[in-house]
Structure 1
Amino acid sequence: MTAATDASAGLAMPLDAQQRAVLRALLGMQRQSWEQGVASHALLDLGLVEDALLLAHDAVVRQTPAGKLGEVDDVGIVNSGACGEAVALAARAEPAGPFGAALDRQLAWLLREAPCADDGTLFHIEGTREMWVDSVYMVVPLLHLVGQPEAARLQFEGHRDRLFDASAGLWGWRWSEDEHRVTHPEHWGTGNGWVVAGIARAMRSGGAGDPWFAAEGPGHARVVIDAALAAAAHAGGFHDVLDDPSTFAEGNVRQMLAYGILAGVADGWLPASYRGVGERLVAEARDAVDDRGLVRGVCGAPRFDRQGTSPEAQAMFLLATAASTRSF
C-alpha cells in the first residue's frame, strides 16, 4: 500500500512514509462500527479501494439481524451507518454478492425501523431517548449517497435544532428527548469535529446536488469552523471541551477541522483563504504522530474521556492529509 488513486480526480496519490505508518497502525487496531466506517472512508479517499472493500466485507459479516453493519456490541443505533459508503461501493463492484442486500437492510433500519423521536430524528444509543452530535457524521453523508436527501435533511435539522448553541456557534453533546433539553451542553471538540467532517463528507457524497443542503450545509460548517478556531485560540489550543482550557488537550478535532476545511476549499464551498488554515492544522497533526504511526494527544478509545489513541483519530489523520493533496 504505497500509492493510491483519488477516485474523484483520477490521479495517483502516493502515500508518504508517515501516512503508511498511520495506516498500518489503524489497520492493527480493534474497531467498533463507526471506527470501521471512518477507516473505510480514509481508505476510499486515499484511493485504496480494494482495501476499503475488505472492510466492507467484514462490516457485512458483522451485520446484525436488525440490519446494523459492523456492530460488535450492538448498542449503537446510528454508528453502523458510517459503514454504508464502502458497502454501497462493494454492491456496485459485485452486484451478485451480498452487499446490495446488506445495504438495503442497513437503510431499512435507519429509515423505518430504528428508534426515533416523533419527528423522525434518530436516537443514538439503544435503551435511551437521546440524540448525540456524532450522528451527523454517521447518517447524513450516507443518506445523501443513496439518494435520500429529505431523510438527510430531517436528520441534520432534527439534530441541529436540538443541539446547536447559536450563541456560541458550537454544538452541545447530548439531548434528552424525555427531558426536552440538552443534558450535556459542553462544546465537545470531537463532537463539533463530527459535524464539520460530516457536512464535508455529505457534500461529496451527494449533498452538493441537493439545493437545500448545498445552501445550508456549507454555511453552517463555516460557522462551526470559525467558532472552533476562535475557541482554540482563546483557550491556548484545542481541548476536549473547546472553550474549557481546564479539560485535557485534544488533537483529533484539529484533524477533523483540517479535513473539513481542505475538502471544503477543494470542493469549492469554502473560500480559498481557508486553505492556509487547513494546511497549518495538518502540519500540527503531523507533529503529533509518533515513530510507530500512532496519532498521540487525542481523545482515546474506548471511553474517550482522556488522552490516548483511537482508530477514529488514525483515520481522520489520513482523511486530512488526503484532502491536503487534492487538486485546488
Structure 2
Amino acid sequence: MRVLDALLAMQRQSWEQGVASQAALDLGRDDLARLMAESAVARQAPDGRLGGPDDNLVNGAACGEAVVRAGFAGAARRQLTWLLSEAPRATDGTLFHVRAEVWADSIYMVLPFLACSGELKEVVRQVRGHRRVLCRDGVYSAADPGRPQRWGGGNGWVVAGIARAVRLAPELLATELPGHAREVLDACLRFRRDDGLFHDVLDDPSTFRETNAAQMFAYAALTGVHDGWLPASYEGVGRSLLAAAAREVDAYGLVRGACGAPTFDRAGTSAEAQAFHLVATVAAGKL
C-alpha cells in the first residue's frame, strides 16, 4: 500500500511513531507494530516517556498501545507511572501538554494508552478536564493559554482519541464520552467546505485548506457507527469525509495538503496524516 510505504519512509517523532504503530495494528500488521514499539522502548526516557524526551510531556504515550500489545510490560508500566503520578498537571489533575499548557492533542496522546491499561477513571477525568478548559459550543480551542483558535486537527485529536479509547475499552460506552465525541463531531461538521474538507482553523476561511482533519473525523464517525455509539447515518458522513481526503493522495502515496510536519503551521505532509488515512480506511472496511 503506497500510503503505508510513504509513512514508513518518513522521519518520526514520538507521537508520530505512536500513530504509525496504531495504523500498523489496525492493518493487522502486528509484526510491524512490534518493531515500532521496540524502537519506542529503546528510546524511552528515564522518566518513562516512550520514544524519547522532548519538550512535550505526554506525546510518548501515543506509543503505549503498541508497547502494551507487544508485551513490553516494564516499559508500559514506566510510561503509565509518568502519566498517573509524575507528569506536570493542573490542580484538578488535567495533564499539561507542554510547560503549563493544556492542549487538545493530549486527549489522543493519552486516552488509548490509558484505556488499554485499564485506567478508565483517568480516561474520563482527562476528557472532563480538557473539555472544561478548551471546549466552547462543542468545539475545542487548540491550547490554553495562548492558542484560542479552533484548530481542525486539535478537534480531530479529540474525537479520534475518544473513539479509539472506546474501541479499546467498551466499558466507556456507559460514560459521557461517546456523547461528547458526537457533540464535537457535529459542531465541527458545520464548518465543512463545499469540497468536503476544512480550513486549518475551522472557522477562519483565511487559513489554508487542510486534509487531515477530514480523515480524523472520518475515523471517529466510522468507528462510532461500528461500535454502536453513533447512528448508522454517520457511515455516509464518514465515507464522504474519507473520499474527500483520498482525492488529495498523490502517486507516491503521500496525503497532500495536510497540516504539515515539522512545524504544523502550513500545508504539507505528515506521518499523522498518513496514519489517519490508513486507520480511517480500515474503519470503512469494517462496515
Tell me, yes or no, whether TM beats 0.5: yes
Q: Which amino acid in 1 is paired with 2:273?
A: A
Map of 1:129 onto structure 2: 100
Give the conservation status (yes or no) of the 8 Å contact 2:197–2:245: no
Structure 1 vs Structure 2 CA RMSD: 1.4
Map of 2:31 onto structure 1: 50
1:188 aligns with 2:151: yes
Deviations 1:98-153 (A, max 9, x none): x111111100100011111111111111xx21100000001112111111111111
C-alpha distance in 1 between matches for 2:129 and 2:110: 12
C-alpha distance in 2 between matches for 1:325 and 1:147: 28
Give the conservation status (yes or no) of the 8 Å contact 1:163–1:171: yes
Aligned residue for 1:263, secondary structure, equals: helix
Percent of aligned pairs sharing the same letter: 57
* Gapped regions of structure 2 (runs ≥ 5): none
Residue 277 (structure 1) aligned to one of 234, 237, 246: 237
Residue 159 (structure 1) aligned to one of 121, 126, 130: 130
Give the conservation status (yes or no) of the 8 Å contact 1:235–1:245: no
What does residue range 72-221 of structure 1 map to in structure 2 within 5 Å? 74-91=54-71, 99-125=72-98, 128-166=99-137, 169-176=138-145, 183-206=146-169, 208-210=170-172, 214-221=174-181
Residue 192 (structure 2) aligned to one of 205, 208, 232: 232
C-alpha distance in 1 between matches for 2:196 and 2:73: 48
Map of 1:243 onto structure 2: 203
Aligned residues: 287
1:31 aligns with 2:4: no
* Gapped regions of structure 1 (runs ≥ 5): 1-19, 92-98, 177-182
Instruction: Normalising by structure 1, report the TM-score.
Output: 0.85
> Quick check: which has more Rg, 1 or 2?
1
Higher mean displacement: 247-256 or 218-227: 218-227
What does residue range 305-316 of structure 1 map to in structure 2 within 5 Å? 305-316=265-276
C-alpha distance in 2 between matches for 1:161 and 1:305: 26
CA shift, 1:215, in A, is 3.2
CA shift, 1:36, in A, is 0.4
Q: Which amino acid in 1 is paired with 2:90?
A: A
Map of 1:11 onto structure 2: none
Q: Which amino acid in 1 is paired with 2:150?
A: H
Map of 1:22 onto structure 2: 3
Give the conservation status (yes or no) of the 8 Å contact 2:94–2:130: yes
Instruction: Normalising by structure 2, report the TM-score.
Output: 0.97
